[in-house]
């Protein structure tokens, strides 16, 4: 059965470009992103991995470890990483899982046979410190991911995990957020001292509380 939001992210051990890892040990107490790539030496994946390497400081600031996977073998990954570093002007500083037996790809339902029998689609899972799946996004092989969106949604997940708010359409870090409907306005006024603006009884905004 496929994984859904709120499910425990299955643990696994795997060979990677940075040695053998235990997924949970790699994640530690922080957040994690596991994302799949259809194949090595492919152009879109090359740009995605380069972009992820460039964003290392952004992920570090969000206490988030990233981990990529492709079903190709380790020796192929190692050669490809050199190409990524060269062409994307970066240093890939996170592990890429070699998954030739498709153990991890199967565990995370990353192969969608009606899209491709042999290769993973572009799956992306965000996993919380409690090891539960907080977000799943699936892109087809032909569309590279928007990593600004990945950071944006990570900001929203981390904010809403710790405060009684939700984030509106197109929200970005620093903008006003929505008070969750379960909190009455009188209580919200106490809880959010920066102010609560009531547009409708069910639509209340407050400045981002963790700034
Ligand atoms: C790519 O990563 O460039 C790619 C992979 C599979 C199909 C199309 C593009």
- Strand 31-37 to strand 64-70: parallel, antiparallel, or no bridges (unpaired)? parallel
Helix or strand run (H / E) with residue 37: strand 31-37
Length of the chain: 211
- Answer yes or no: are the C-beta atoms of 71 and 105 closer than 8 Å: yes
**Pair 96, 21: CB distance under 8 Å:** no
Residue span(s) of the chain under CATH 3.30.1020.10 come to 163-206
Give the pLDDT of residue 1. 66
* Nearest atom (ligand 1) to Cα of 39: 5
pLDDT of residue 61: 97
Per the CB < 8 A criterion, the answer to whether 175 and 208 are in contact is yes
Report the pLDDT value the prediction gives residue 123, as an integer from 0 to 100: 97
Q: In which region does residue 42 sit, left (phi positive, over 0), alpha (psi from -120 to 50) or beta (all else)?
A: beta
- Confirm if 201 and 185 have CB atoms less than 8 A apart: yes
Ligand 1 contacts CB of residue 32 (under 6 A): no
The CA 140 to ligand 1 mean position distance, Å, reads: 9
Cβ of 41 less than 6 Å from ligand 1: no
Which ligand 1 atom sits closest to the C-alpha of 48?
2
Which run of H or E residues covers position 103? helix 103-107
Listed as ranges, residues in the chain with pLDDT below 70 are: 1
Task: Give the helix, strand, coil percentages of the chain, each rounded to 5.
Answer: 30, 25, 45
Distances (CA, A) of 76 to 45, 54, 146: 14, 22, 26
In CATH, what is the architecture of 13-143?
Answer: 3-Layer(aba) Sandwich (3.40)
Question: Residues near 131 by Cβ (< 8 Å), separated by ≥ 6?
Answer: 8, 9, 11, 24, 27
- β-pair type (31-37, 122-127): antiparallel
CB 99 within 8 A of CB 14: yes
Q: Which of 35, 40, 45, 96, when mutated, tests ligand 1's pocket best, judged by the most ligand atoms within 8 Å of its CB? A: 45
Say how many Å lie between the CA of residue 70 and the centre of ligand 1: 12
What is the 156 CA–ligand 1 centroid distance (Å)?
29
What is the third-level CATH fold of 163-206? Answer: Antioxidant, Horf6; Chain A, domain 2 (3.30.1020)
The active-site residue out of 33, 45, 66, 179 is 45
Active site includes 45? Answer: yes
Terminal alpha carbon distance of the chain: 40
CA angle centred on 39, ends 13 and 107, rounded to 5°:
35
Q: Which residue's CA is the nearest one to ligand 1's atom 1?
A: 44
Residue 7: both structure tokens together:
């499910």
């Amino acid at each position: 059965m496929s994984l859904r939001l709120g499910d425990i992210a299955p643990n696994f051990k795997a060979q990677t470009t940075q040695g053998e890892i235990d997924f949970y040990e790699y994640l530690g107490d922080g957040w994690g992103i596991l994302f799949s790539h259809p194949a090595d030496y492919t152009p879109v994946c090359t740009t995605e991995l380069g972009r992820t390497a460039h964003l290392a400081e952004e992920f570090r600031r969000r206490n988030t470890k990233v981990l990529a996977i492709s079903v190709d073998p380790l020796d192929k990954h190692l050669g490809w990483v050199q190409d990524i570093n060269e062409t994307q002007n970066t240093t890939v500083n996170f592990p890429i899982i070699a998954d030739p037996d498709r153990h991890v790809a199967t565990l995370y339902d990353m192969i969608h046979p009606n899209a491709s029998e042999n290769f993973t689609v572009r799956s992306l899972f965000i996993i919380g410190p409690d090891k539960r799946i907080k977000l799943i996004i699936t892109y087809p092989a032909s569309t590279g991911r928007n990593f600004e969106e990945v950071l944006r949604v990570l900001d929203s997940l981390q904010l809403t995990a710790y405060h009684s708010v939700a984030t509106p359409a197109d929200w970005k870090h620093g903008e006003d957020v929505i008070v969750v409907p379960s909190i009455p306005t009188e209580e919200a006024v106490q809880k959010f001292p920066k102010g609560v603006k009531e547009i409708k009884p069910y639509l209340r905004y407050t400045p981002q509380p963790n700034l």
